Amino acid sequence: MRTTLFASALAGLAAVSNAIPTISVKGSKFFTSDGNQFFVKGIAYQLVPDDPLIDSDQCKLDAALMKTIGTNSIRVYHVDSSVSHKDCMQSFEDAGIYIWLDLDTFSSAIFQDAPHWNVTQRDAFGAVMDEFHQYDNLAGFFVGNEVLTTKNGSISAPFVKAATRDLKAYRDSKGYRNIPIGYSAADIAELRPTLQNYLSCGSNSSEQIDFYALNAYEWCGDQNFQTSGYQILTNQVLTYNVPIFFSETGCQTVRPRTFEDQTAIYGSQMTPYWSGSIIYEWIEEANNYGLIQYGAKVDPSSPGAPPDGFPRSGKPTPLQPEWGNLSKVWAAAKPSGVSEAAYKPSLTAPACPEMTAGTWNVDGAAALPTLGQTFEAQATNAPTVSSSGAAPTGTQAQASPSGTSGVGSPAKELRGMGVGLVGVLVGFFWWM
């Protein structure tokens, strides 16, 4: 009996010692719980619209291949909070991979044209947090993805910040660890750097985002730090007070992709200010951003075929030369960081942006919307109380890149829908 108990105790200690360090925020940087600065090297991962983290066999195959090129993160856009994700999360943890997870669902997201924030949305976001807070490799939550896709969408920014406030309060009231909560923005030139500053401004830390992320596809082909626009992006974050990274990147208008932007992102010109990037995307689809495929495309009309013809499970096969290009660039990327103990943050929150007619229609000094408010543009041009508690209607497809600077993701705006999104939407209805 004592031998058995001793063996069990040793096994428990081994499990604890092998647990992946958790991620937290200090100043403008991410750190692991063992005190090292953390730089995101990630891949966007959404095999199926509803939830890619429930097929344990597929997760094992994909995590194992990701590990071979040094991936330490994936971004997942939608999950089903009602089912267990234990096996998939364990597979990714075993591979040293963290998950950056969007909290919204297809029906609970905040939309810029008629923004509102209510109990139904808060509870849906909270349900995702309830399921995933338990996993040490849950790196952070996104409270929104490209909610603002035009300069006229600035009226929705207070609702994003209100959601941040309420989800941070929800996290703390539940006694969960201090999981970072941030926002993933479309690369809209007219909104830079106003939006990032608004979401982190003010003296009340309970209302500020913990990190900011940008979906940017500016570096295309044979460019450099200056010609790509990355120097401009970096100049806009030199004094930013929370971590910032690229939550989507990987322009594919010039083929093959060489991913030379990664050299800059993890180099000395950007690492003092940026915390890495996430490549769009894992699976090959109609939008031609994939790094791998699960077999050749098939005739969509054949029996049992996926609607867009792209298989979504099985053995992942790297697509060359782009997989090899990314592997080579990441292997050479060795960002220089600082230890948490040695880091002394000195940056402070920016001033809240003033209202600018036609560009930024938000009063930075105004109180945030309370739970249950909606925007009534024709009446007051400010948030007002709504009697409705219903979640917003409509179907939000999984994220798809903009492909150009200053244009929001087509996944957020049907009127800007491209070929890739058409395939995603077809897939959505097929998988339902």
CA-based nearest residue to 24, from 232, 220, 243, 231: 243
Query: Would you kindly state where each structural domain of the chain is located, as residue ranges?
Result: 27-431
Task: Please answer whether residues 297 and 309 qualify as being in contact, where contact means their C-beta atoms are separated by less than 8 angstroms.
Answer: yes
- Where the chain has pLDDT below 50, the residues are 2-3, 6, 10-11, 13-16, 378-400, 402-432
The pTM (predicted TM-score) of the whole model is 0.87
Count other Cβ atoms within 10 Å, centred on residue 221.
14
Q: Is 248 a catalytic residue?
A: yes
Query: What local confidence, expressed as pLDDT, does residue 105 receive?
Result: 87
**The token pair that represents 195 in the structure block:** 């939006």
Region of residue 179 (phi > 0: left; psi between -120 and 50: alpha; otherwise: beta)? beta
CA-based nearest residue to 182, from 202, 160, 203: 160
**The token pair that represents 171 in the structure block:** 């996290």
* Maximum C-alpha span of the chain: 76
Containing 245, the helix (H) or strand (E) segment is strand 244-249
d(CA 203, CA 371): 21
Coil, helix or strand for 292? strand
Q: How far is CA 169 from the centre of its chain?
A: 20
β-pairing, 116-117 vs 73-76, is unpaired
d(CA 51, CA 179): 21
Task: Please answer whether residues 41 and 69 qualify as being in contact, where contact means their C-beta atoms are separated by less than 8 angstroms.
Answer: no
Query: What local confidence, expressed as pLDDT, does residue 329 receive?
Result: 98
Termini Cα distance of the chain: 51
Query: What local confidence, expressed as pLDDT, does residue 357 receive?
Result: 87
Count other Cβ atoms within 10 Å, centred on residue 346.
9
Query: What local confidence, expressed as pLDDT, does residue 236 receive?
Result: 97
* Domain 27-431: homologous superfamily in CATH: Glycosidases (3.20.20.80)
With 0-12 / 13-18 / 19 or more C-beta atoms within 10 angstroms meaning exposed / middle / buried, residue 185 is: buried
Which is catalytic among the residues 207, 248, 285, 340? 248
**The token pair that represents 297 in the structure block:** 């495309």
Task: Please answer whether residues 222 and 253 qualify as being in contact, where contact means their C-beta atoms are separated by less than 8 angstroms.
Answer: no
Which is catalytic among the residues 131, 146, 281, 322? 146
